[in-house]
Amino acid sequence: MSDAERPPADGRSLLLAQVREAYGRAAYTHKTHEKQADLSSQNHRWQQRILIALTVVSSGTFLASLLGLFVDKSWAGLGTSFIALLVSAINIGTKTFKYGEETQRHRDVASKIWNLRESYQSLIVDLQSATITVDEARARRDRLQQEALDIYGDAPRTTPKAYAKAQSALKENEDLTFSTREVDLLLPMELRIMKEHGHDEGQ
């Protein structure tokens, strides 16, 4: 059948396809911000550990230099100065790279996107069950698009490493143009378009 002979898709099917795509993007973005929050939290813990360790070592070397234990006083003084310099650098780094604040920002965004994702899923349910009209669905879609714009506009940037971790967690490929099966894998079984063969047979 040629394109000219193929009947046009109805409005509900086209709208459903668009909402499913938006759901898939929200699912990926949600997971990416979760992974970015995990990475920032790890960086924050390492930052604090290094600062504590250097502070302890600096104090220990200072005491050793005072008591004349373990090391020569001149070397102890040099070591103390060097470690004190590192402690200062780490302190400056904690003010520049605020991993704790960054972690919380990503978690806050992930929480908002989770709600957005669930709203898209509810809209998919209503569209597939025909409990709302196409016009009502379009109005909800438009509201969700504005909500997504507000969330994404204020969201902190994520890194390729976070996206790769999200990609691995969701067992999907890098392409953000979702196939029917890719979105199906992110949805509960009852909402999937392509049912697994065994489930169709009641196995």
Residue 1 falls inside a structural domain: no
Cβ atoms of 191 and 27 within 8 Å: the answer is: no
Q: Is the pTM of this model over 0.75?
A: no
pLDDT at 1 over 70: no
Count of domains in the chain?
1
pLDDT attached to residue 201: 42
- Of 36-40, 51-55, 129-133, 197-201, least confident by mean pLDDT is 197-201
74 pLDDT more than 70: no
Between 12 and 193, the higher pLDDT residue: 12
Position 57 in a domain: yes
Average pLDDT in the 94-105 region?
Answer: 74
* Average pLDDT of the residues in 137-143: 95
pLDDT for 165 equals: 86
Banded pLDDT at 59 (limits 50, 70, 90): low
pLDDT band at 149 (very low <50, low <70, confident <90, very high): very high
- Look at residue 43 in the predicted model and tell me its pLDDT: 80
Asked whether residue 136 is domain-assigned, the answer is: yes
Q: Is residue 173 part of a domain?
A: yes
Q: Which pLDDT value is given to residue 167?
A: 83
Contact 115, 21 (CB under 8 A): no
* Structural domain harbouring 39: 11-194
Tell me, yes or no, whether 201 lies in a domain.
no
Residue 4 lies in a domain: no
Closest CA to 103 of 164, 46, 49, 63: 46
- In the chain, beta strands by DSSP E: none
Helical spans, DSSP H, in 68-98: 73-96
- For 141, counting Cβ atoms within 10 Å of its Cβ (0-12 exposed, 13-18 middle, 19+ buried), the class is middle
The confidence score (pLDDT) of residue 56 equals 63
199 is a domain residue: no
Q: Is residue 3 part of a domain?
A: no
Decide if pLDDT at 72 tops 50.
yes
Please compute the mean of the pLDDT values over residues 125-132 and round it to a whole number.
92
Length of the chain: 203
